[in-house]
Amino acid sequence: MVVARLAALLSFFCIPLWTRLTFVPLGFAPYYVVRFVIVLPMLTTIFCWLVAGAPGLFAQRRTTTRSLWALSLLTVALWTFASLSWAFIRERAPDIGETAALKFGIVALFATAVAHLEIAPRRAIYVLAISLAFNAVIAVTQSLHQGWIGLEFLREFVVERGMSGISVIRAGDLQFVRPYGLMPHPNMLAGTLVVGTLAASMLIVHERRWIRYTAAGLISFSVLAILLTFSRAAWGGFAVGVIIVFPFVARRALNERTMRVPIIAAVVFIVLIGVGFLIQYRPFLAARTGQVQESLEMRSVADRLVYIDFALRSIQERPILGVGAGNFPWRMSYYLVDTFYDLRGDNVHNIYLAALAELGIIGFGLYAMALTAGLVSIIGAIRRANIPERAPLMGLFAALIALLVIGLLDHYPYTIIQFQTALWGLMGVGVGATRQIAPKT
């Protein structure tokens, strides 16, 4: 199962990449999702695991929460496929629902395989840290350059000052072009940075000295990258994640002298970066946080309120079954026909309302059950683990909670395959750890 585990780790490395193939892989239907590079290692993981007989799936020693998690997640996937039969736009554009169902089906099978492959959480942390370093350098470089940096071979989006339709922040006559990384929007870049930073933060309490100091530098630099995205949802998710991991890190600093220097250094660097960022970008912060009213920021908030209003209306109309997987943007576009709003159909910027609107009460209940069972399973593993085993699990848990908090204000943890992979795939790593960790004695 070495190939399956390596493919799964490669999938996690590819989370920050929007890179797509220029052709449809042989044997695949021409759905949009199958051309993402991240899909290839995911499918390799699933294939190798199934060919090997799905090891671990029917193991005698399994926890109730782990079984409930896998069953709930796979049932959600089946429900998304079932929703194709009643999808709102099924006759005019059936590929909309088919793509959404296929996407979640791949993620559900991948996450289930990851959980039963029992990938060591620490290995996942290493991969996320390496990916983070690469991603953070791109983000900071784009911010300094105020545009794209010529990574054509990775399909970097062409973003330059003065282009229309790009994401910028305005404060009076000042303008700041937000970095995109290798994603189609700065908010998504921010999400990948938050996941990587919180996961990598646990390397600061690693047994090896050079890894602790490297982690301290990486975390500090990645915090700067997160700040430069100006993503409010990501900032909020990151803050909650820090609240989760900081007590654990602080206790290690108090109990072990060898941990103190890198931890204190990281805290000092982050504070200095925060103060410098506040001074350098104060006008943009004032605009972004609403202290100074800018039309661009007010429009952003107003648009999201409109999406929420239409999502609630859709839920009232179809509370049991929903409008079908991937169909809410189309339902919203029909609502917009009778309004004066200068908007296009889009996803509601809240993953819980999105799931409820598209999958109905039944589908949302299954979705919530899978989330709850996965988190409970990971919490149980954290409680049983010894301190060295607990650290990577804490990092993964903080990253997952951050994604769920981000989901209150953004839709990508529910709609975008890279973030579905981050949410459910990393949850699979944590759930799989329940069998690797022996009960505490």
**Joined tokens for residue 234:** 């990501």
Give the mean model confidence (pLDDT) for residues 197-204.
95
CB 92 within 8 A of CB 406: no
Render the burial of 218-234: b for 16+ CB within 10 Å, e for the rest: bbbbbbbbbbbbbbbbb
Q: How many CB atoms lie within 10 A of CB 10?
A: 17
C-alpha R_g of the chain: 22
* DSSP reduced 3-state for 147: strand
The pLDDT of residue 212 is above 60: yes
CA distance 74 to 63: 17
Percent of the chain with pLDDT over 70: 94
Tokens 């062409």 sit on residue:
158
The pLDDT of residue 358 is above 60: yes
pLDDT per position as a tens digit, 109-149: 999 999 999 899 999 999 999 999 999 999 999 999 999 99
DSSP at 165:
T
pLDDT recorded at residue 60: 41
pTM tops 0.85, yes or no: yes
Q: How many CB atoms lie within 10 A of CB 25?
A: 11
Give the mean model confidence (pLDDT) for residues 233-249.
95
CB 350 within 8 A of CB 312: no
Comparing 6-10, 322-326, 384-388, the range with the smallest average pLDDT is 384-388
pLDDT per position as a tens digit, 78-88: 999 999 999 99
List all residues 6 or more positions away from 353 whose beta carbon is below 8 Å from its beta carbon.
308, 311, 312, 315
**Amino acid identity, residue 167?**
S
CA distance 376 to 367: 14
Residue 169: which H helix or E strand, with range?
Answer: strand 168-171
How many residues comprise the chain? 441
pLDDT per position as a tens digit, 303-328: 888 889 999 999 999 999 999 999 99
Q: How many CB atoms lie within 10 A of CB 370?
A: 24
List all residues 6 or more positions away from 368 whose beta carbon is below 8 Å from its beta carbon.
none
At residue 357, φ and ψ (nearest 5 deg) are -70, -35
